[in-house]
Structure 1
Amino acid sequence: MIKVLIVDGESRARDIIKTFVQWEKLGMELVGEAGDGQDALRQTEELHPHVVITDIQMAGTCGAGLLQTLYERYPQIRTIVVSASTDYHYAAEALRYRVLDYLLKPVDRIELNTVLLNCKRIIRSKNRIGIENIT
């Protein structure tokens, strides 16, 4: 199973993502959720997610700071940004840290699942093993 961590300062936004993702169909499981970047980093250390879905504007360690740390410490983790911000600065930060996609809120259910399916394919090709063997 592919392990996913959701990071957003708003619990409602996290709930929407949790509801929209077709977890079983995608072979993914939600292993944790965090309300800020600091908690996300702590959970990353503990839970070893394969995918982090994050907002880019949050209190504490902002999403851009989180993306940078994940990029530097955990380059194998795939990241997806879900944000209300259309500010070019945030999009440029996301690109710098090689996010797979930058989705705008309100997130579209089909678009989110399509991005996660693509993410699954990338993880599978990078590992060159079956999804069942991902730890």
Structure 2
Amino acid sequence: RDYMYPDMARKEGLCSLLSVPMMVRDKALGVINSYTSVPHVFTGEEVKLLQAIANQAAIAIEHTTLIEKSHEMQEALAVRKLMERAKGYLMRSKKLTEEEAFKLIQRQSMDFRKSMREIAEAVLLAGELDQRVEKQRG
């Protein structure tokens, strides 16, 4: 009945509007709108149906967000483990402190414009290469 932009609604051919929040765990993630091109008073059943659809959409959005966060956390943990291994290798092979090993990786990351993950992988790969060379030498 009350619309903020009546001129725009008329221009678009819209007569009736039903807006319901997309709710999940008492949090609104957005709004779903339903428009009609002819005057229409939405029934309670129509409101309930659109609200159910909106809530299902909100659950799907929340689910996707949680999956993305989980993947980000798994990636962060993998990088952390990789960094720990690379620091450990540098500490053993180059007699560095943990802080020195971290700063070396960090500095190389900036100098080569590579991620710390890439530098840590390179350190570990170089370490494996050193071990293979030593084995071949006997």
Q: Which one has more relative contact order, counting CA pairs under 8 Å at least 6 apart?
A: 1
TM-score normalized by the length of structure 1: 0.26
- Structure possessing the higher radius of gyration over alpha carbons: 2
- Say which structure is richer in helix: 2
- Say which structure is richer in strand: 1
